[in-house]
Each structure stands twice: as C-alpha cells, then as structure tokens.
Structure 1
Amino acid sequence: MFLELEKVLKNNGFIVKTFENTTKAKEELLLDIKKEDSVGIGGSMTIQDMGIYEELKERGNEVYWHWRKDTQNPIEKAMTSDIYITSTNAITLDGKLVNMDGNGNRVASMFFGHKDVYIVIGKNKICTDYDAAIERIRNIAAPLNAKRLNLNTPCTHTGKCSDCESPDRICKVETIIHKKPNITTIHIYLVNEELGY
C-alpha cells in the first residue's frame, strides 16, 4: 500500500519518504532540519509521541508549540517559523490530505507561510477516499481529541459525530490539500506504525 501511495503523492508534487518506525522517521527529520532553522509545531499526538520537540530544543533550535508554555505567543511564532511539523487527520489513496481544525492555525500552516512543511503520517490515517477520510475524522480523530481536551461536546460522550452546535466544537475548519501548493514545499513522512488519532 505504501508503494502505491508514495507514487501517487510524488505525482502530486510532494516529497515523500517511508519509514518502518517513528525512530527512523525522527532521525531523518533531525537530519533534514538544520540547527539554525526555527521550527513551529502544530497540535499533534503523533509529533508529541515522537519526542521531536525536546530533541530540537536540546540541540538549540528555536521551537514554538502551543502545547508547551515556554515561549510567549507560540501560535503566532509557529506560523512564521522556517519549518513547520505536524500530522494529518487523514490521507486518501489518491493522495489528498484531509483535515479538520478548531482554530485553523494548524491547517493554514500546512500549506502556506513556511520554507518547508513536514507531515508525519502513521498507517492508521490512510483512507480509501474522501468519504472514508471524513468518516475517520468525525468518528475517530475528533471524538478522541475532544475527550483528550476535556471538551463538552456530544462526541466526547458518545464517540460519534453529531454535527453539533456546541461552543466547544473542534470541527470548524475543513481543508483538503490535493497537490503541492505553488510556493510551499511539503515533505510527507509515511510511517509503518499506528500514530496519533
């Protein structure tokens, strides 16, 4: 499956690398990102579980992540960093990256404003098509994230999307990246492990 998906993604203009595990993916990421690069990180359990934030900080990179409280205005600084790292909610077999966001900062940074964007994707995010991707987001990614954030949404309690009107709703901005944007280089790291939500 990875070979076909890699071929499709490359045809769509993305730079693609595949890895057997997150350890190998992290090693490559640390080689690709230079010590002088500033790095923004989007909200992602995949990236948190990789431990890349700590390693980048330890070696001297400026790193901005709103999940860490060690810098002022981390969202704004992450949006203007040289490099942006995140994951995707779903990827289709025809090479579309489908995402849903609450604020929109993560999805906006996936396709504009950075020298390079790195998107790390576990095999559990691979979906047959757009409909399957939306089903995955609504009934896996969104409920698990809402529960993790202790939000008062119906999906927190039921585990299923009801297209709610809750003020805590996190499904507010939907994006689909069909192909490489004109002025942004997107690196896709496909990892043969289940990662994140």
Structure 2
Amino acid sequence: MNLESIKTNFIKRNIKSEVFYKEEDIINYIKELIKDAKTVGIGGSITIEQLGLYEIFKEEEKEIFWHWKVEPEKRNEILKKASSSNIYFSSSNAIVEDGRLVNIDGNGNRVSSMIFGPDKVVIIAGKNKIVSNIDAALKRIKEEACPLNARRLNRDTPCAITGKCNDCKGVNRMCNVTTIIEGHLPSVDIEVLLIDKDLGY
C-alpha cells in the first residue's frame, strides 16, 4: 500500500495526515506547525534526531523539553514539561496500513504524551515503519525496534543479545506499556506525517 492510501486511511479515522517525498518539504511544513508555539516537547526518537529537529527548534527560538538533552537528574522534570507542551513531536514504532498507530514504551512517558497533555501531537514516521496489521506491528516492535533500542541504551535485556523478544521480566524490560491509537482523540490534536524515506527504528 502506498503512502497516499495510508494517509487516506488516517483521515477516514479523523486523524490528520500528510505525505512528504522530500526531507526539505517536511522540515518546512514542521516550521510552519511550530510557528505559534512557545514550548515544544519531544519524545525519545531516533527519527526526530535524524531529521535534526532539535537544532531546528533551537534556531526557531522555541523552549524545548527533550530528556535526551539534559542531565539524568533533570530528566523527570523535563518529561513532565514535555507532556504539557504546546506541541509534542515523536515517532511511532509501527504504522498499520489501515491508519492505526502502535507503540510500546518502557517508561510510558512517550505513549502517554501522545494521547493526553500537549495541545498538539505530531507523529513523524518513515516508510520502514509501515506494516500490514496489528500482529505485524507488534512483531516489528519486538523483533526490530526494541532490540535495537536495547543495544543503543546498553540495556541488560535478552533482546539486546538475541535480537527478539523473550518476554523478560527484569527491571530493564523495555516493553512495559503498549498503546494502539485507532482514531481521533477529543483531548489532543494528532497529526501524522509520513515520509518516503527510511527513518529510525
């Protein structure tokens, strides 16, 4: 299924969506989105990092709340501020072709901020995150995204070694909260930006 069809499926679920084929176009669109925002929150995201959005938000003189950019002792404070920002940016672990967003979190800060708190939430996802159904979404997360994240964070989890989920029960477990966004939420304005490029994992 092509990106335009997936965009249509999001819109059918009353979730705003746009498709981009050039990185410069999505950057220009994002700059317009943040024009009137004073505060910008960011969820943990390699996609956001690869697009260089943090630097762009700094250039636009926004107050940015991203726990990746502060000392460990300040992270909880920044996570809370991010969750009540004017606009919150993140990616999604998996995009289902029928217009659903599937995510798994360790702390829950990213998935909770997607569904309640910020005035607006912008989800950015590359074509590599598109899957056919919910089962494929969960498989992708547990066998691709989580193991790579565990290795990046030097987590002592089985998936970091084996490359797939072992349903571990330890304190370092990364799969603690699972959410599926299936439609428009009255509490937050969600917009999904799809880009014809492989980004994040």
Q: Which interval holds the TM-score relative to the shorter structure?
A: over 0.9
Q: 1:164 aligns with which of 133, 154, 168?
A: 168
CA contact (8 A) 2:37 2:86 kept: no
Quote the residue 1:147 is aligned against: 151
**Which structure is higher in helix share?**
2
Distance 2:162 2:99 in 1: 31
Distance 2:7 2:36 in 1: 28
SS of the residue corresponding to residue 110 of structure 1 reads helix
* Unaligned ranges ≥5, structure 1: none
Distance 1:115 1:165 in 2: 35
Quote the residue 1:27 is aligned against: 28
Quote the residue 1:137 is aligned against: 141
Shift of 1:27: 1.6
Deviations 1:36-73 (A, max 9, x none): 42000000000011111111112210000000017942
Distance 1:42 1:94 in 2: 24
Give yes or no for the alignment of 1:126 onto 2:127.
no
Q: Find runs of 4+ consecutive structure 1 residues off by over 6 angstroms.
A: none
1:46-65 → structure 2 map (5 Å cutoff): 46-65=47-66
1:89-128 → structure 2 map (5 Å cutoff): 89-128=93-132
AA of the residue aligned to 2:85:
S
Distance 1:129 1:22 in 2: 27
- Count of residue pairs the alignment pairs up: 197
Shift of 1:115: 1.2
User: What is the TM-score when the length of structure 2 is the normalising length?
Assistant: 0.94
Tell me which moved more, 109-118 or 170-179. Answer: 109-118
CA contact (8 A) 1:35 1:61 kept: no
* Unaligned ranges ≥5, structure 2: none
User: What is the TM-score when the length of structure 1 is the normalising length?
Assistant: 0.96
> Structure 2 vs 1, CA of residues 33 and 133 (structure 1 numbering), >3 Å: closer, same or farther?
same
Shift of 1:107: 0.3
Distance 1:142 1:60 in 2: 33
AA of the residue aligned to 1:61:
K
Identity %: 43
AA of the residue aligned to 2:199:
L
Q: 2:195 aligns with which of 188, 191, 197?
A: 191
Shift of 1:166: 2.2
Shift of 1:35: 5.0
SS of the residue corresponding to residue 91 of structure 1 reads strand
